[in-house]
Structure formats: structure tokens, C-alpha cells
A and B are shown apart, each in its own frame.
Chain A
Amino acid sequence: MKRIIATLVVALFAVAMAQGVTIGVLSPLTGGAAGTGQAQKAGFELALAEINAAGGVLGQPLEIVIEDTKADAATGVAAFEKLMTEDGVEFIAGGYSSGVTLALVESFRTFQPVVSWIGGAVSGVGIDGFDGIEELLGAEPWFFHVHPWDYQNTEASTAFMASTGVKSVALLHEDSAFGGPGAIAAAGLLQDAGMSVPLVEAFKSTLTGGTGDFRATIAKAAASGADALFWIGYDSDVVPLTSQIRELKYDPQYIFGAPPGWPSEFDAAPEAQCVTGLIGYLPNLPNAEAKTFLDAYVAMHGKAPDNYMAALAYAQLWSYADAINAAGTTDQDAVIAALQNGTFRSPMGEWSFKPSVIALHQGFGSEMWNVFQFQDGVREIVWPLARATAPLASCR
């Protein structure tokens, strides 16, 4: 009898070991942010194929279960709880939308899996009366934030603006949890850097129910007399905003935007000329990993990534695989320690989790960002100068 029980125990242990590791992914695969979600999915698929081709995790194939959040708070919470209760995952990846992330805070705290989170940049730092994601989750030992925080985005944007020599900046922002806090932080940093901000104006994004008529907002920016235009919105706002700027004969020296992605084929549109933007990954980044990633991505998906979230998702899944392999176990404390102490490769260069203002584990910081400019249909890197592929050109 003892022999039978011992055999069963060994068999069950072997089965458990052979099941491998499953990571739950939350991503907006459909809905208004589907472009970003599909980019994340493409990045995860590439990383998963490479990880498993390299031997998987703990000697077993890695698996991922992707749930669609639709970039909707209620759907995101239900998707997360399904991953916890039905799929039984212990590790969460993906992530997009500050609104969805804020809605997930209590559920994350209830289940406390290891959460590595790409999106949700709204930190709340420096904003009175508003609790942001870094304030709410940053001190949790199981929370790892991959994407830079809003103030890190703004640090990069402000440093770029300061490098252009402009004296005044009109700031337009979409009105949700993404653009509002970002604009407040940006206005403060621009002023700290010696620039005046004669206009901070909200608009209704096409992603959140707007119809893309930004003429009133642009007319206000033109009337402000600012040297440069800085806008925070979504990729679907790019075409109406840039075309209406030309239509209204608004002529700022620089047009600088910080959407999560840029529309496909926009590079070839005449409205794109001289528009500048903040981006985490570009194929022409001067590092070997960027080129390797691009070649593998094109081989798998047949085209270059349109959205830097593909590169971030790729980096995130690889960091999980490296950390679990380094820990040699799926024990949460061991994996947390391995994520905390590891250094990881990515298309954006080497990276690791470090403390930020509040967070214990912050991945990329302002150093991740590049500013590119559309020049004759090509996205040339114009800032930082060390990575520049072309000089910045004025729109005037």
C-alpha cells in the first residue's frame, strides 16, 4: 500500500512539473484600443515562440492565456478574475489603459499574483486629490511596472522641448485619465524648464466618443500665439488633428505629440511632414537588439511593428521567462526576487526594475523615449542627439 501511495505521489508530482508555467495576459484585443492590444499580442507571440524554441521555462513549454479587456474597466476586472479563479494563473502580464488599471487595483490586492504591467502610466505623483497607479500599487512587493510613468514621459517630452529653444508651448490633451494628469505634469515641467504655457486645453478624443472635430481647440492654440504645439491624445486623433492644424493655417514651429501609437500609412500622408512624436521603439534605433527584434517580428508577422507596445510586450514576457528560469521555481517570492535582481535584454536596450518615486519596481524610465520626426515619409530619430538619425527641422 505504501508503495502504491508513494508511486502516486511521485506520478502526481511529475504531472505537476510537466504542466509547465502559464502566464495570464490582459490586453485590449478589441474595442477602441484594439490596435495597441493587437500589437501587444503580436509581441507576446514572438517572445513565446522564441522562449519555447530556447527550451521554455523550467524545462517545459511556457504558455500564455490572453484575455480581452476591451480597454473597459468592468471587462478588465472580469477578465482578471477569470484568470485567477478559472485558469489559476500566478503571474499576470500585459496591461493597458490607466482607467482599467485603476479599476483593477482592489482585485489585484485581493488575489495578489505577481503582476508585471506594461500600461497604466498615470502615477498620481504631484497631483493633489487624485490617487494614481504608482501611489496605489507602487509599494506592493508583487507589482512590477514596465512602462515609464507619466512624469517620466513628461520629463522626456520637456527635455526635448527645451532642446528646441522654443519659449512658449500650447498644450492640448484628451480629457480622460491618460491625458488629463499627463497635461498637468507637463505644464509644470515646461514652466520649470523656463517655457511659458499660455494654453492648457482639453479635447474629446475620437477614442472616447469624439467625432474628430478639433477646430475649436486648434483655433484657441493658434490664438495663444505659442511657438510650439504639444498634444497628448490617442493614435486615432492624429489624422484629424494634423490635417485641421493645416486647414486652419495654424503655423507652430513644432508639432509634438505623444500618442501610444501612430496610424498605419500616416507616414505617407502630407499632413505628417514635420510632425514630431515620442516613441519607445523604432526599427532604426542604433542597437543590435532592435534590429534582431525587427527581423524576427517581420518573419513572424509579415510587417514591421506599428506600435511600440509590441516591443514592450516582447520585453515583458522575456523578463518573466528569464526571471522564472533564474529562480529555478515558480515560487512567487523567488520569482519576485529574480525579477527584482535581474537585468533583461530588449529592443529598447538593456533594462531592469529599479525604485521610482514611490514604486519599488519600475522598469523603463525617461531614457526609453526617443523623439522622431516625419521627414519625407520617414520617421527620423531627432532626439536624444546620441541616437539621432537626422537633425530636427522646423515646420515653418
Chain B
Amino acid sequence: MDLSLLPQAIVSGVLASGLYALVSVGLALAIGVIGIVNFAHGEFFMVGAFLAYQLFVGFGFDPLLSLLFVAPALAVIGALIYLSSIRFVLRAPELNQMLLTFGIGIILQNLALLIWGGDPRTIANVPYRSLGFQVGGVSIGAVPLGSFVISLVLVAGLYWMLASTPLGRAMRAVAQNRIGAGLVGLEVDRVYLVAFALSALLAGLGGVMIGVIQSPTPTVGLGFTLKAFAIVVLAGLGNIRGILGAALTVALAESLVATLVPNGDALRNMVFFAIIFVVLVWRSRRVA
């Protein structure tokens, strides 16, 4: 165990938590407001990553500029998916909902395979992708720092929207009691539509950042989807406010294990599954 790497591990973990929070908060929104577990959430990241790639290849757009185009595009895609399929299963058994979103994920993956092929792609010219600053012997990467700041701003914006705007209050009301919200005049179906589109938009923004860090592939969302589910479970299903803390816990734990334990990077997935296991057992004992 090389403790000299500890400061780097902490900084890397904290910075990674921003992106983890961003990819998780959209999933939490879908679960919390609409009550649907969206297994296609990772494919929204993938679509966001590929759109950023396409905007780079077609128009030379920097991924930061792509954010402005990818966000509305994913909102539209999310809305279309909601209108064409999700809204029909809202009262169906949960298994049907899960199968539907799982199927949507497979369709999106295979569409990406048809359009972009299976080869990993590269947004080739990102001048800041390899940029790092040394602060007191610790390296801070421009991309992790940038994605951390952007993610925090977006998640904070979402919190503010939920707490302080009529739309946010409507979402919270619908989440608490769908029938009651309808009885007092809220257009429940419209709130669901906006929530699902917003969930897809947030995933798409996360996807652009993933497209910078990694090669866009039809399965690029897989690793982040696993993390997002772990963080949502850790925060409490549908608890949007708990996402930041849960993301920080998972990211820090992973970074510390990856750095301080031999072959620790290979244990990353085990770390978050262990966290889920402990939290679920602890919660069930507390309830009992």
C-alpha cells in the first residue's frame, strides 16, 4: 500500500463524483417522478456520446459546443420515446415496464451499430483531454475538473428547479401522489413527459462528457449505467436529493480501493456492489 498516492486518490474520487452524480440524477428523476426504472438510461448516454462525435466529425464542433445541441436533441428523443411507448405502460406491472425499457435500450444499441458500426470511435481533436495541472504534487485533470463543475452546476440547477419553480413543484406533487395531483388540476401526463425528456437530456449531457473521456461505442453506457443504478439505490430509490452524497461515496470508495489495494482497479465494480449490499442490509435491519 503506497500512502503517498492517497491525496491523488482523494482528488480523483471527488472529481469523478460529479460525472457519477450527473449520470445518476436523470435515472433518479425517472424513478422518483414517473416511477419507472429506465434500463435504457445508459443508451441515452451512448446516443449523447455519438451525437457529440458526429458533430465533431461533421462540423468540427468541440464537445463543449456540442452540449448546446445534444441537450435539446436528447430531450426530443426522450419525449418521443415517452409519447410512443412509455406512457402506455405506466399502469402496467413493473416487469412489463422494465422489459419495455430494456427493449428500447437494445433497439437504440442496434441503431447505433447500424449507423456508426461496432468500432470504437474517437473525438480526435480535444485539446484539453490530456491537460493536467500539478497542485501540491497532485494532478488535477482539466476534463475531470470541467465535468465536475458542469455536473455540479446541472445537478444544482435541477435541485433549484425542483424546489423553486412551478414545474418542479408539480413534479414533486406528481411523485408523491399521482391521483391527488390530478385531482387538484395538474396535467400529470404532461409532467411525466417533461420529466422523462429532462431525464434523457441529463443523460445526453453526461454522454457528451463520456464521449470526450472514452471512445463512443454502442455499449459505452454500460459501465456508467451500473454506477448510476448503484448510486440511485444508495441514495434511496427516487431520492434525487441524496444523489450527490451517494455519488461522492461511491466515487471516493472506488478511487481509494483502486489506488491503495493491489489490483484495486479491477475491484471497482465489487466496491460499489459491496456498498449496495451493506446499505440494503443496514436499511432492512433498521426497518425491522
Contacts and interface: CB of A to CB of B under 8 A. Distances in A.
B141 A244 contact: yes
A319 interface: no
A339 interface: no
B4 A223 contact: yes
Interface in B121-165: 121-127, 129-132, 134, 139, 141-143
Given A30-B218, A32-B222, A212-B223, A263 B121 contact: yes
9 closest A-B pairs (Cβ-Cβ)?
A: A34-B118, A246-B130, A216-B258, A175-B266, A247-B132, A35-B119, A202-B266, A263-B120, A203-B265
A235 interface: yes
A331 interface: no
A391 interface: no
Nearest to A39: B119
Contacts of A32: 217, 219, 222
A37 interface: yes
Interface in A237-254: 238-240, 242-244, 246-249
A326 B149 CA distance: 66
A196 interface: no
Interface stretch (B8-16, B240-248, B276-284): B8-16
A105 interface: no
A270 interface: yes
A209 B266 contact: no
Contacts of A181: none
* B117, B142, B218 — most chain A CB neighbours (10 Å): B117
B118 A38 contact: yes
A248 B118 contact: no
B109 interface: yes
Interface of B: 2, 4-5, 8-9, 12, 16, 57, 109-110, 113, 117-127, 129-132, 134, 139, 141-143, 210, 213-215, 217-220, 222-224, 226-227, 254-255, 258-259, 262-269
A216 B124 contact: no
Contact of B124 (A201, A212, A266): A266
17 contacts: A32-B219, A32-B222, A35-B120, A38-B119, A201-B263, A204-B267, A206-B223, A211-B268, A215-B139, A216-B8, A216-B9, A243-B213, A261-B120, A264-B121, A265-B57, A265-B124, A270-B127
A35 B16 CA distance: 28
Contacts of B227: 211
Nearest to A217: B265
A206 B220 contact: yes
